[in-house]
């Protein structure tokens, strides 16, 4: 079977959401804290915004009459290379949260399943989903090498 990978996700918002203040706040967190590119674009002649973690992935933000509502823990997983990277990102998010209490953070104990350890936290800011920032470790395999 051919390989498949994440390319993009579209998140819709109520019309009128994209005020200058909202977009500035999106830029501050997703650009400043997470380090993503944030840019305006046009899609089907409508104003939209791209959040780009890298050149091959993006989240499209668009206003729509029918928009996403996600009151649960719906999330998109973001995989980092090392536990230290997750911890550093958590601290960056906490520093941001100190200035803006709309930033929500959930922390968890490590999830240990057999020889796999998932070290993660969830963060949510202005968008209708959570982001699961995590590293997947294989300590038994690492100790054997």
Q: What is the 3-state secondary structure (H, E, C) of 12-43?
A: EEECCCCCHHHHHHHHHHHHHHCCCEEEEEEE
Burial code of 68-77, b = ≥16 C-beta within 10 A, e = fewer? eeeeeeebee
Both 77 and 59 in one domain: the answer is no
Both 126 and 57 in one domain: the answer is no
Instruction: Report the predicted TM-score, pTM, of the whole model to 2 decimal places.
Output: 0.90
pLDDT at res. 44? 85
- 95 vs 63: CA distance, rounded Å: 29
pLDDT at res. 145? 53
**pLDDT (mean) for 68-73:** 89
Q: Which of 41-45, 123-127, 138-142 has the lowest mean pLDDT?
A: 138-142
pLDDT at res. 46? 81
Both 92 and 124 in one domain: the answer is yes
pLDDT band at 76 (very low <50, low <70, confident <90, very high): very high
Both 119 and 54 in one domain: the answer is no
pLDDT at res. 3? 80
| Closest by Cα among 122, 121, 126, 124 to 110 | 121
The number of domains in the chain is: 2
Domain that includes residue 37, residue range: 1-68
pLDDT at res. 6? 82
pLDDT at res. 4? 79
**Taking phi first (over 0 means left), then psi (-120 to 50 degrees means alpha), and beta for anything else, what does residue 128 get?**
alpha
pLDDT band at 139 (very low <50, low <70, confident <90, very high): confident
Both 35 and 4 in one domain: the answer is yes
Both 17 and 86 in one domain: the answer is no
Both 34 and 93 in one domain: the answer is no
pLDDT at res. 45? 81
Q: How does pLDDT run across 17-62, given as a tens digit for each residue?
A: 999 999 999 999 999 999 999 999 988 888 899 999 998 899 999 9
Both 12 and 77 in one domain: the answer is no
């Amino acid at each position: 079977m051919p390989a498949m990978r994440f390319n993009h996700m579209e998140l819709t918002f109520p019309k009128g959401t994209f005020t200058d203040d909202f977009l500035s706040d999106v830029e501050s967190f997703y650009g400043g804290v997470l380090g993503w590119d944030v840019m305006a674009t046009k899609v089907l002649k409508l104003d939209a915004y791209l959040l780009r973690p890298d050149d091959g992935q993006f989240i499209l933000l668009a206003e729509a009459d029918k928009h996403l509502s996600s009151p649960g823990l719906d999330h998109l997983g973001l995989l980092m290379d090392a536990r230290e990277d997750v911890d550093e990102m958590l601290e960056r998010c906490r520093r941001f949260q100190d200035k803006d209490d709309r930033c929500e953070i959930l922390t968890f104990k490590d999830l240990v399943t057999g020889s796999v350890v998932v070290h993660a936290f969830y963060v949510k800011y202005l968008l209708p989903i959570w982001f699961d920032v995590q590293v997947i470790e294989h300590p038994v395999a690492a100790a054997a090498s």
